[in-house]
Amino acid sequence: MCEKIFSNCRILILPDGLLQKRIQLFENQVSKYGGLVSTDIHKFSPTHVLVEDDLLVNPVQLKTIFKTIQIFSKNRECEIVGLTWLCRCLKEKKLLSTDQFSIQNCHVLKNQVTEKEYETPIKKYRDESSVLPVQSSVLPQDEIIRVGSSYNNSYQMNKIILEEFQKLADAYRSRGDRWRTVAYDRAVGSLKSYDKEITGVNELKSLPHLSAKMLDKISEILDNGFSSKAKDVCNDEKTKVLETFSKIWGTGPVTAQLWYQKGLRTLEDVEANGNLTPSQKIGLKYYKEIQETIPRQEVEEIMQLVKAVALQLEPSVQFVPCGSFRRGKQSCGDVDILLILKDSVNYRSLIPKMIRELRKDGFLIDDLVGTNTSSSKYLGLCKLKGENKRVRRLDLFAVPESYSACALMHYTGSALFNRGIRLHASKMNMHLSECSLKMNGSNGQILPTPTEESIFEHLSLAYRPPEERHVF
């Protein structure tokens, strides 16, 4: 007879990143030992919310989880705890304290959460990396920075392979499957560095980040013109819905999954019953336009307008285009601008002044992440005057001159390159962020980095220009 160690527990398992077989195993074990268990937040008010242990170091996703619990659950005193807690309880056959397995109680988080903290930009990797240092568990220990050429591939079969792999990366991202997402993102980056026509898989075996299974998929694409795996995954009804939801600005896979569990299936359902944050409402309002890419010429027009305002307010400001534009892309997802100010100037005062000026003539349409009187970042929507002009994403970042090189590297990207070079730094017992490069970890001595070249030099790497930073 099993001791009912979970007799007073109502356990909600968030399925993000978990295989269905593993979920079923946990459900069976919790039920066996007397607990109530479900992946559906509407079934009961949980005492414990179980998540993948990796989520415990991601405050953005944790706060999204907590907000959902606030909306759907009557019990505000539940705990967010890693799956290791459940495994240990089952191993020792007793109900253990959650202290060492939980970041903190939900009622503690409750006092810290604001609407602004729920807003999760689409460029998740860039924004998450500005909050957390890269952990060595994110990528394999033997990861190295790879030198690649700027992607300009005109070979039709190469394009098809990239499209099929990108479909898989996007599908796994919307499902919350972090590891497969990273794996396919890296594979896409690696394939983009290959500047010859792909005619067989043997020629690709020397490329990094292509597993044997991925090579099998490429072989299938070469034979049939498509990947059956991509077809199966992407044509799944749930995946289609999750991808649609995840494209709403400010919405991550956790929220998308919870909307799906609630029974929402369309954007209209979300608008009516999604309990949207202010940013999500704006993201939904401009849903189609936010998905569109921006021609390089239009990006230049937007930058010229913003630059004129910046120089009018602060003549000494250095105005630097960043993101995919600086990496040489012919179309961009948004417009990224870095504003570098002398250390003697209050760098936090410029963007609020710019926002006021840019609003006057209707250039700024809406704010995704608002600004106050001392903000160094602005994420919003803008629109040029003229016929057939579209609403576009605009990101502004202001930094002091002493941060400029590290900030420039960070906001140039790509996200995969940033992850790789930060991991490389950590292996050298250094810490690289958008602010500085430090010796001996995040609390160590700041190294002088007057230029991007100096960062590469400190890290014993050959300099790579922006157009070669789409992959590592």
Count the alpha carbons within 13 Å of 78 in the hemisphere toward its beta carbon. 27
Backbone φ and ψ for 44, nearest 5 degrees, come out as: -160, 170
Q: Is the peptide bond before 404 cis (omega within 30 degrees of 0)?
A: no
Residue 10 carries which side chain, given as an amino acid letter? Answer: R
Angle, in degrees to the nearest 10, between helices 178-192 and 415-427:
100
Helix, strand, coil distribution of the chain in percent, nearest 5: 45, 10, 40
Query: Is-contact 349 365, C-beta < 8 A?
Result: no
Neighbouring C-beta atoms of residue 386, cutoff 10 Å: 7
Strand order in the sheet with 48-51: 36-38, 10-13, 48-51, 79-82
217 as an active site residue: the answer is yes
Cα end-to-end span (Å), the chain: 55
b/e for 414-443, b at 16 or more Cβ within 10 A?
Answer: bbbbbbbbbbbbbeeebbbbbbbbbeeeee
The partner residues of 36 in beta bridges, in order of sequence, read 10
Helix axes 156-175, 228-235, angle to 10 degrees: 40
Give me the catalytic one of 63, 67, 123, 217. 217
CA angle 402, 407, 411 (to 5 degrees): 165
Q: At what angle do helices 253-261 and 156-175 cross, to 10 degrees?
A: 60
The answer to whether residues 102 and 55 touch, using CB atoms and an 8 Å cutoff, is no
- The answer to whether the beta carbons of residues 233 and 171 sit under 8 Å apart is yes
Q: How many helices (H) and strands (E) does the chain have?
A: 21, 13
Alpha-carbon distances of 409 from 24, 82, 177, rounded to whole Å: 44, 34, 27
Cα 89 to the center of its chain, rounded Å: 32
Kindly list the catalytic residues.
Answer: 217
